[in-house]
């Protein structure tokens, strides 16, 4: 059987599949040529990340496909229900990248409270001539310890973010319409652990009470954070989106940064991905990364082996 990993696959995943006699193709086929390639090569399994789109037209045109796999959590680039209605298995790896995304969130948070996102832009330009001026500009940093972290979307990734927040000495509150409470287990290197029960509350309550907000929600038809939601946030609070593009109204976000309502914000995903708005890219109070939440070697290894395990179970065991 043939597997096309159109957006790439870790070597561990390739090895696991090849060990069970799957042929793994890792060519990146352009979207416009994908249907022909799948049919010409009788592809059984199509694996994607966020770049490749698997819509109704492709599903209808490629009868050889038995499994569609998404390396990661969100599956908004796949017509999931339609594929399943055609008898195609649709799989993903919801837990594999949780730690990686959570660590990126805190990379942005630590960088935000100490102005690293701006300092790293200006030190190479002016560090040798304006050192004292830059030192003064960045001398009013804050600590995360003792602050309140609000997590909107309290699934696997949201709970991983909560673990790090608790470990940093933060108060963690959360909102999620599908989760009433969660027991968050903070594990230490030596096997010791601490469990903290967090009961979710309304999104408005979280917005009003938090010094920092981290979003972990699926793609939405409407904004989760717009002008109204920003208006009830604390003065000088900050916002991180490492979830999906389009859940924040970026125009409202820019306005809030420019008028000082928010002290900074961080985006790993964007409304107009992969061509973010210039106003977003150029704003000096935004910490930016190009959708790399799951892009660690460890996460990609877990994604690869988990996809391989599910594929083998579906196509060999059954």
Enumerate the active-site residues.
Answer: 244, 273, 291
Cβ-defined contacts of 179-186 (< 8 Å, 24+): 179/154, 179/155, 182/154, 184/159
Bridge partners of 196?
Answer: 184
Helices (H), the chain: 11-18, 34-40, 56-61, 80-85, 98-113, 116-126, 131-137, 156-167, 203-209, 227-231, 250-258, 278-282, 297-312
Pairing outcome for strands 45-48 and 262-267 = unpaired
**Cα–Cα distance measured from residue 179 to residue 183, given in angstroms and rounded to the nearest whole number:** 11
Name the helix (H) or strand (E) containing 237. strand 237-241
**Residue 205 in contact with residue 231, Cβ under 8 Å?**
no
- CB-based contact 223:246 (threshold 8 Å): yes
- How many residues appear in the chain? 318
Cα-flanking dihedrals φ and ψ of residue 158, to 5°? Answer: -55, -40
- Contact (Cβ atoms closer than 8 angstroms) between residue 253 and residue 247: no
């Amino acid at each position: 059987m043939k597997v096309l990993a159109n957006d790439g696959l870790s070597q561990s995943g390739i090895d696991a599949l090849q060990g069970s006699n799957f042929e793994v193709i890792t060519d990146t086929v352009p979207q416009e040529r994908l249907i022909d390639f799948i049919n010409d090569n009788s592809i059984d399994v199509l694996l994607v990340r966020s770049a490749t789109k698997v819509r109704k037209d492709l599903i209808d045109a490629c009868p050889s496909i038995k499994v569609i796999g998404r390396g990661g959590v969100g599956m908004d680039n796949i017509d999931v229900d339609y594929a399943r209605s055609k008898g195609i298995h649709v799989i993903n790896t919801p837990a594999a990248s949780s730690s990686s995304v959570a660590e990126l969130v805190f990379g942005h948070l630590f960088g935000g409270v100490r102005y690293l996102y701006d300092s790293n832009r200006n030190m190479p330009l002016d560090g040798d001539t304006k050192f004292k001026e830059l030192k003064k500009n960045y001398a009013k940093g804050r600590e995360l310890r003792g602050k309140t972290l609000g997590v909107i979307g309290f699934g696997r990734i949201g709970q991983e973010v909560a673990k790090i927040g608790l470990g940093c000495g933060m108060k963690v509150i959360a909102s999620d319409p599908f989760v009433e409470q969660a027991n968050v287990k903070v594990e230490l290197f030596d096997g010791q652990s601490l469990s903290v029960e967090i009961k979710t509350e309304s999104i408005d309550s979280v917005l009003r009470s938090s010094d920092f907000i981290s979003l972990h929600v699926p793609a939405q038809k409407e904004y989760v954070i717009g002008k109204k939601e920003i208006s009830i946030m604390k003065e000088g609070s900050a916002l991180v989106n490492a979830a999906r593009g389009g859940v924040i109204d970026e125009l409202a976000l820019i306005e809030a940064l420019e008028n000082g309502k928010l002290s900074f914000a961080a985006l790993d995903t964007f409304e107009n991905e992969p061509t973010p708005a210039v106003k977003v890219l150029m704003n000096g109070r935004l910490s930016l990364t190009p959708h790399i939440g799951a892009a660690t070697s460890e996460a990609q290894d877990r994604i690869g082996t988990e996809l391989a395990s599910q594929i083998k179970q579906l196509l060999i065991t059954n």
